[in-house]
Structure 1
Amino acid sequence: MDIAHFGVEEWLNKWEKKATYDISQSSIEALTLEELIGLDGTTVADFFENLSKESLDYGWIEGSDEFKSLVASLYKHVEPNTILQTNDATGANFLVLYALIEPGDHVVSMLPTYQPLYDIPLSLGAAVDFVELKEKDHWQLDLDALQSKLTAKTKMICLNSANNPTGTLLDIPTLKAIVEMARKVDAYILIDEVYAPLTGKGEFMSIVDLYEKDIATNSLSKTYSLPGVRIGWTASSKEIADIFRKYRDYTMICGGVLSDELAVHALKSKDKIIERNRKIIKENLFILNQWVEKEPLVSLVPPNYVSTAFIKLDISQEDEAFCIDLLEETGVLLVPGTAFDFPRYARLGYCCKQETLTKALELLSGFLRKFDK
């Protein structure tokens, strides 16, 4: 099997450790181990003292019962026995596609989006059609365009919401319309929901609560600020989860005793994490929007209270070369839009430390002045 190079990961692997001001990431500022453990008043010493006699065996293969119950409680109509622990959302997406997509299948995805959602199906021999998101439409999914791509042979609709890199959301009426389209052609829907918004306004609903052939994937990496724990999950019906179980045995075995314990600890304190992260997003997004208003060579459709933003660069230089020159001259790191097959844009991760964001935007503006017309 052949597969395309993973643009974002190759970019970050090459450049992120060379950055002084990293505003390329799509997570909310990561919690330290001490911060995570201390959410309920526990100390790191006490936490690991309690675990010190635990056997480092395989542990719970599909995730502990407590983990599965805590994750199921994030949804309205999901039972714990349908939750499968994975190696982050990356592993969850791979599991879904590996289990369900075969050569000759037809898949519809969006562009831009998280690359594995379309390149893994392509590598498995599926045909993939795209619905291109447009800035002029505020990066919203065109339902008529989606409908035009679906056929009787469509096996799956692969989306993510909120979208990486644009930060825009599939609202509830849009999700319901997608479900009706999928039901008519008997297609699965996979939505990577790792960027669940933090607005608290009831604008977000998981696809798994809407349709019998839907699959939601998620993890602790973005909304919960724990990318280093590497724990994610699939949520689906029991019938679909039972399909996944066979394929999961080939791709993961287990998440690890310590990672499961850390995941449970985080999910028990999720409200405190959400409160902390909502504050980071609100304050940093204000800084970003104020900067965009004053920066003549940048435009932005504001993200929907998620941690990734996609700026448009009104410059003459190709975006990848621009990002390399920016890094080498200023130490500021962005992800070029080319990594998402969308040139002339860049992903800007604004949910870093506030002082990092402020300094990086100052340096970015200074660098942009060479392109003034």
Structure 2
Amino acid sequence: MEIANFGVEEWLNTWEKKAKYDISQSSIEALTLEELIGLDGTSVTEYFEALSKQPLDYGWIEGSDTFKELVASLYQTVSPDSILQTNGATGANLLALFALIEPGDHVVSMLPTYQQLYDIPKALGASVDFVKLKEEEHWQLDLDVLKSKIKPNTKMICLNSANNPTGTLLDKATMSAIVEMAKEVDAYIVVDEVYAPLTDEGEFISIADLYEKGIATNSLSKTYSIPGIRIGWTASSSEIAEHFRKYRDYTMICGGVIADELAVHALKNKDKILSRNRKIVADNLAILKEWVEQEPRVSLVTPHYVSTSFIKLDIPQDDYSFCIDLLEETGVLLVPGTAFGLPQHARLGYCCREETLRKGMALLSKYLRKFD
């Protein structure tokens, strides 16, 4: 099977460990193991003493009953039996696409978005049409353009909300309109919801609660700040979940008993995590906006209280070589927009430690002065 190189992951695999000031990532500042365990007052010693007799067998194949119940509670209409644990949201996306896409199918996706959502369908033999998000339209999905791309044989619409890398949201009204389009051709809708916004503004709603052929993919990596445990899930109807089970057996056995326990602990304490992360997002977003206002070579469509932002660079150099030069000369890491198919931009992950963000942006501004 031929598949394109994964632009973002290839970039990070090459460069992220060389960064001194990493402002490229799309997660909210990761919790340490001690911080995660201590959310309810438990110490690491107490927690792992209780786990020390746990056999390191395969454990729960689809995720423990408690995990599934806690994840299902994040939705309005999804039952625990319809939650399938995966290896992060990347595993959830892979499962949904592997299970549903066949050669000759037609898929509509947005651009930019997470590369899995269009290059896996292409590799599986589907044709893919794009709705290109435009900066001058604040990176919003044009519903008229989407409607024009849907064909009688469209099998799936693949979306990302909030969007990676722009941080813009598909609100409830927009999602409802997309569902009506999908119903006309009986298409599935897969939405990578790993960047669920940390605000009630904008009327976010999961596709799994809106459409019987909707599949939500998500994980604990971004909003919940624990990418290192690699736990995600699919949320769907019971019929779709049953279809997925056969394909899941070929892509993943289990998440592991320790990872499942940590995921359950995080979900039981989700309110504390979300409270922490709302503050990080709000505080750091204010810092980012103030910096953009003062930096003449950078512009930004403000992200919707999620952990990723996409700046535009006004520079006489291509973004890819600029990001390499910036890293080598200052230690500051961004992800070039070229990795998302949009040159002269860069993903700036502003939800790192405040001192890292401030220092990284200060060095970036200083470096940009060479173009003045």
Fold similarity call, TM over 0.5: yes
Aligned-partner SS, 1:197? coil
C-alpha displacement of 1:202 = 6.0
C-alpha displacement of 1:200 = 2.8
Match of 1:365 in 2: 365
Cα distance in 2 for residues equivalent to 1:275 and 1:91: 27
Cα distance in 1 for residues equivalent to 2:278 and 2:200: 9
Q: After superposition, give the CA deviation of every residue in 1:101-133 in whole Å (9 maximum; x if it has no partner).
A: 000000000000000000000000000000000
Aligned-partner SS, 1:114? coil
Alignment of 1:175-214 (within 5 A): 175-201=175-201, 203-214=203-214
Match of 1:4 in 2: 4
Cα distance in 1 for residues equivalent to 2:10 and 2:210: 35
Identical counterparts, % of pairs: 77
Match of 1:94 in 2: 94
C-alpha displacement of 1:203 = 1.9
Q: After superposition, give the CA deviation of every residue in 1:288-307 in whole Å (9 maximum; x if it has no partner).
A: 00000000000000000000
Match of 1:321 in 2: 321
Cα distance in 2 for residues equivalent to 1:355 and 1:213: 44
Cα distance in 2 for residues equivalent to 1:362 and 1:24: 15
AA at the equivalent of 1:162: A
AA at the equivalent of 1:160: N
Cα distance in 2 for residues equivalent to 1:243 and 1:316: 51
Cα distance in 2 for residues equivalent to 1:164 and 1:258: 29
Runs of 4+ in 1 over 6 A off after TM superposition: none
- For the 8 Å contact 2:89–2:219, the answer to whether it is kept is yes
Q: What's the TM-score, normalizing by structure 2?
A: 1.00
Residue 351 (structure 1) aligned with residue 351 (structure 2) = yes
Alignment of 1:98-137 (within 5 A): 98-137=98-137
C-alpha displacement of 1:58 = 0.4
Q: What's the TM-score, normalizing by structure 1?
A: 0.99
Cα distance in 2 for residues equivalent to 1:255 and 1:225: 17
Cα distance in 2 for residues equivalent to 1:352 and 1:211: 35
C-alpha displacement of 1:201 = 3.1
Match of 2:217 in 1: 217
C-alpha displacement of 1:46 = 0.5
Aligned-partner SS, 2:368? helix
AA at the equivalent of 1:41: G
Aligned length: 372
Cα distance in 2 for residues equivalent to 1:101 and 1:205: 25
Aligned-partner SS, 2:2? coil
Worse-superposed segment, 201-210 or 56-65: 201-210
Alignment of 1:265-284 (within 5 A): 265-284=265-284
Cα distance in 2 for residues equivalent to 1:270 and 1:201: 19
C-alpha displacement of 1:199 = 1.1
Cα distance in 2 for residues equivalent to 1:256 and 1:166: 33
Cα distance in 2 for residues equivalent to 1:183 and 1:41: 48
Flag structure 1 segments of 5+ consecutive residues without an equivalent: none
- For the 8 Å contact 2:171–2:202, the answer to whether it is kept is no
AA at the equivalent of 1:307: S
Q: After superposition, give the CA deviation of every residue in 1:196-231 in whole Å (9 maximum; x if it has no partner).
A: 000133621101101110000000000000000100
Match of 2:231 in 1: 231
C-alpha displacement of 1:162 = 0.1
Match of 2:60 in 1: 60
Match of 1:164 in 2: 164
Q: RMSD of the alignment, in Å? A: 0.5
Cα distance in 1 for residues equivalent to 2:229 and 2:156: 29
AA at the equivalent of 2:213: K
Alignment of 1:282-293 (within 5 A): 282-293=282-293
Cα distance in 2 for residues equivalent to 1:232 and 1:262: 12
